């Protein structure tokens, strides 16, 4: 069971770039949930992924060599859902029904920014990654998701609050 959770039902075995595959699958599932009227499933899914990840990753790593094998992607799922939550909750609260097309930057920006921070590993993301323990496996992606989410909101504010009215 810990292997299924840690690898996100086997998505972690997709190559190349298993973390990017897991993030992309997560975005597709999140957009589908939003489109189906289940916007709040995204932040709830983040909490579930965090709890399951902190449970499954230590068990899985106890059976595997290495500190953070590439097939462990539940951390990417949790981080990506966190990043998406920053934009989908405001969109949902404003009654935006079509995330896929009408509000497409609402899922593209968090995806791209999350992947950027997860690969680049600046500041707290890198510090968590260097912890060398199971908590670090989860925490680096949660920091990446937090930064991606905050910057996504900032970019939306710049576009809607500054550029869009100016461009008119």
Residue 123, Ramachandran bin (φ over 0: left; ψ between -120 and 50: alpha; else beta): left
Question: For the whole model, what pTM was predicted?
Answer: 0.95
Question: Which residue, 82, 84, 63, is CA-closest to 72?
Answer: 63
Whether 1 has a pLDDT exceeding 90, the answer reads: yes
pLDDT tens string 82-108: 999 999 999 999 999 999 998 889 999
Spatial distance between the Cα atoms of 166 and 97, rounded to a whole number of angstroms: 26
Whether 6 has a pLDDT exceeding 80, the answer reads: yes
Q: Compute φ and ψ for 30, nearest 5 degrees.
A: -65, -45
pLDDT value, residue 65 = 67
pLDDT tens string 104-153: 899 999 999 999 999 999 999 999 999 989 899 999 999 999 999 999 99
pLDDT tens string 8-65: 999 999 999 999 999 999 999 999 999 999 999 999 999 999 999 999 999 999 987 6
């Amino acid at each position: 069971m810990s292997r299924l959770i840690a690898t996100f039902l086997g998505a972690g075995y997709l190559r190349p770039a298993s973390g990017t595959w897991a993030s992309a699958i997560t975005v597709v599932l999140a957009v589908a949930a939003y489109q189906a009227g289940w916007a709040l499933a995204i932040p709830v899914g983040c909490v579930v992924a965090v709890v399951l990840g902190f449970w499954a990753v230590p068990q899985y790593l106890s059976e595997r060599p290495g500190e953070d094998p590439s097939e462990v992607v539940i951390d990417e799922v949790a981080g990506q859902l966190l990043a998406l939550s920053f934009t989908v909750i405001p969109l949902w609260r404003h009654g935006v029904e079509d995330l896929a097309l009408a509000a497409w930057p609402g899922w593209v920006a968090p995806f791209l920014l999350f992947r950027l921070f997860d690969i680049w590993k600046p500041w707290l993301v890198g510090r968590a990654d260097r912890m060398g323990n199971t908590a670090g496996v989860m925490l680096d992606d949660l920091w990446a998701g937090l930064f991606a989410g905050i910057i996504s909101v900032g970019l939306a504010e710049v576009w809607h609050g500054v550029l869009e009215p100016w461009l008119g």
